[in-house]
Amino acid sequence: MNNHASDIISVENLVEVYSDATKALDGISFKVRQGEFFGFLGPNGAGKSTAIKVLTTLLKKTSGQVSVAGYDLDKSPKEIRKVIGVLSQETSLDVDLTGRENLRLQGRLQQLHDPVLKDRVDELLKLVQLEEVAKKPAGRYSGGMRKRLDLASALIHKPKLLFLDEPTTGLDTQSRAAIWDYLQKLNKEEGITVFLTTQYLEEADRLCRELSIIDHGKLISSGSPAQLKAALGGETITLTLKEGADALLKSKTKEILKTIQGVSNVIDSDGDIVAYAKNAGQIMVDVVTSLDRNGIRPAFLSISSPTLDDVFLRQTGRRIRSEELGRKETEPFLM
Amino acid sequence: MGVALLYDIQSLLERYLTKLVRNPTLLATNLVTPLLFLFLFSQLLTKFSAFPGVSGNYLDYLTPGIVVLNAMISAPQGGVSIANDLNSGFLSKLILTQVSRPAILLGRLLTDVFVVVAQSAITIVVGIGLGVTIATGIPGILLMLVTVAFFELALSGIFLVIGIKTRKTETISAISGVLFFPLIFVSSAVFPTSFFPSWAQVVSRYNPVSYASNVTRELVQGGLTWSSLLSAYAVIGLIAVATFATTLYQFRKVVS
């Protein structure tokens, strides 16, 4: 791989093995260009948080080459910390301090002094719309407000590169939209490079211009959301058989679908069968007649535009969505 | 570098003091506990006035002992605080800033020193109000405060290690109970040791709490000797070196 001057993150063959021999990252490589809005999409336990911890100097890597903002991760962790901002998965504020005091403390520890610090705090409180509650202890904030304050404190020293570990997990729709809004603003107007991890398909699709999909510590697909979806070769046809359909019927159905011209891929998805086809609308008649000829009457049949979930399904045979609903594990951010 | 370190320590000290002031229960407990001990023991054990070594006035004997107790009551606070910061993720956030690593520990320790010195000053003032005379005057009071601050620092290292290692505040309270009750009672802090059985007199003689209490007591009653001052500081210094070496080792593993 070539190193471009415009790459703000460069990762080659990164491996992270925990002390209990769990391989959290299994040789991943990727690059992030300066000014990019880059995302890691994957289910819980895929290795997203581990990747962020390594890139932000909180966790020592087992092997591989990593450079962040032009600095080697092993040689210059201090320099890296100066230019990155980090929003961890668990909101980490001092709940006894007010919103303003939290930001001031963070700023002082980044060696900012008044009056520059005061102006920066005012500016950030305005950005995340917490001016009115700035004098209240953060312990009395709602989840969304805490997240916004945490985001502001990650920005206090004007980082070039912002890392966000599942920034909207556990937030309500409104707070999520607000966070999305700030992130887009920061990226577009201030040119901050954003590296975000998420398990939410919609979030990855809407925000990220570049995306890597990660599963079991490996990158399984990379590209822009549009490219990734286009690679599936058309629209998604989802077919549900009647209840009680056996494996034989299922495989017969799949065989029939594969014979239809235009269908590029046929995959099992939980109980459903998913096929991808160009101009799915036009071949729908062929699908129905072919199945009918063989005496198969599906319980449900639909056409939709492919989502990133389809990209994940194609690569892994599983869906992210079903794992989204699973219980959320929390682990302390630090080791 | 030096200026940046001071700025870091000042910022963190302000954080902890603000937290303390915002927690009225903790603040009140900190202020009331030494006075409560002073009143309770002086009322219950007034007959100790007649014991050898007490020289006729138990309150004179007790007050410098309570000053030493203040250090022991505050010592676990640093460990509790670091365990909380580790668990909440706040410590990771600190580590990601440019804050100097020693400042994270020093800021917390200075807060506890500040609290202990304030508690002890109040204890001494109330003692004087109740009739205690400090034979060595103001310089003696200052040396008492320095001694108790130093003792608190040495002991707090024990709890910093437990806090970093276990991240459980329950463990810290449990260990402080198990460790401190015997240390306090089998020492010269509260009781005149002359009525102890002989084994307890031996234990008490080598108990660090006795070393610290002897210094503060000799400052109140008069007759401080170089040997008790130096031996107390040597014992406290040894504890400090041992606990802080372990603390730094554990802390480096977390913040590296």
Chain B residues closer than 8 Å to A105 by CB: 11-12, 14-15
Please tell me the distance from the alpha carbon of residue B62 to that of residue B41, in angstroms, as a whole number.
8
The model's pLDDT over A226-281, given as tens digits with 9 standing for 90+, comes to 888 888 878 888 888 877 777 888 888 888 888 888 888 888 877 788 888 888 88
A173-189 and A143-154 helices, crossing angle to 10°: 20
pLDDT at A21 over 50: yes
For A62-84, the pLDDT digits (tens) are 999 999 999 999 999 999 999 99
- H or E element, residue A93: none
Identify the residue whose tokens are 């023991």.
Answer: B41
Query: Which of A57, A60, A105 faces B11 most closely, judged by CB atoms?
Result: A105
Tens digits of residue pLDDT in B7-47: 999 999 999 999 999 999 988 988 899 999 999 988 888 88
For residue A31, pLDDT beyond 90: yes
Reported as a single tens digit per residue, the pLDDT across B191-202 is 888 889 999 999
Q: CB distance from B25 to chain A under 8 Å?
A: no
Each residue's pLDDT tens digit, B95-113: 999 998 889 988 999 999 9
ipTM reported for the complex, 2 dp:
0.87
Is residue A1 scored above 50 in pLDDT? no
Could you give the percent of chain A with pLDDT greater than 90? 48
d(CA A201, CA A316): 15
- Per-residue tokens: B92: 């990771």
Q: Angle at the Cα of A79 (from A76 to A82), degrees rounded to 5?
A: 150
* Confidence at residue A318, expressed as pLDDT on a 0 to 100 scale: 79
Q: Which two tokens stand for residue B191?
A: 């009781």
Q: Nearest CA to A74 among A20, A19, A14, A162?
A: A14
Write down the pLDDT at residue A265.
Answer: 82
CB contact under 8 A, B95 and A334: yes
| H helix count then E strand count, chain A | 12, 14
A147 to chain B, closest Cα gap in Å: 14
The residues, ordered by sequence, that sit 6+ positions from B39 with a Cβ below 8 Å of its Cβ are none
Neighbours of B206 (CB within 10 A): 10
Q: For B81, name the nearest residue in chain A, comparing CA atoms only.
A: A94
CA distance A41 to A48: 8
φ/ψ of residue B186, rounded to 5: -95, 55
For residue A332, whether the previous peptide bond is cis, meaning omega lies within 30 degrees of 0, is no
Task: Flag if B7 and A111 touch (Cβ within 8 Å).
Answer: yes
How close, in Å, is residue A287 to chain B by CA atoms? 54
Query: Between residues A97 and A287, which one has the greater pLDDT?
Result: A97
CA–CA separation, A320 vs A215, rounded Å?
10
Residue B188, phi then psi, degrees to nearest 5: -90, 10
Contacts of B111 in chain A (CB under 8 A): none
Rounded to an integer, what distance in angstroms lies between the CA atom of residue A102 and that of residue A106?
6
Task: Indicate the pairing of strand A84-87 with strand A7-17.
Answer: unpaired
3-state secondary structure of B183: helix
User: A177-214 pLDDT, tens per residue?
Assistant: 988 999 999 999 999 999 999 988 888 888 999 999 99
Q: Whole-number mean pLDDT of chain A?
A: 87
Q: Which residues of B touch A60 (CB under 8 A)?
A: 256
Tell me if chain A has a CB within 8 Å of the CB of B11: yes
* Rounded (to 5) percent helix, strand, coil in chain B: 85, 0, 15
The length of chain B is: 256
The pair of structure tokens assigned to A76 is 């210059």
Of the candidates A82, A86, A108, the beta carbon closest to that of B7 is on A108
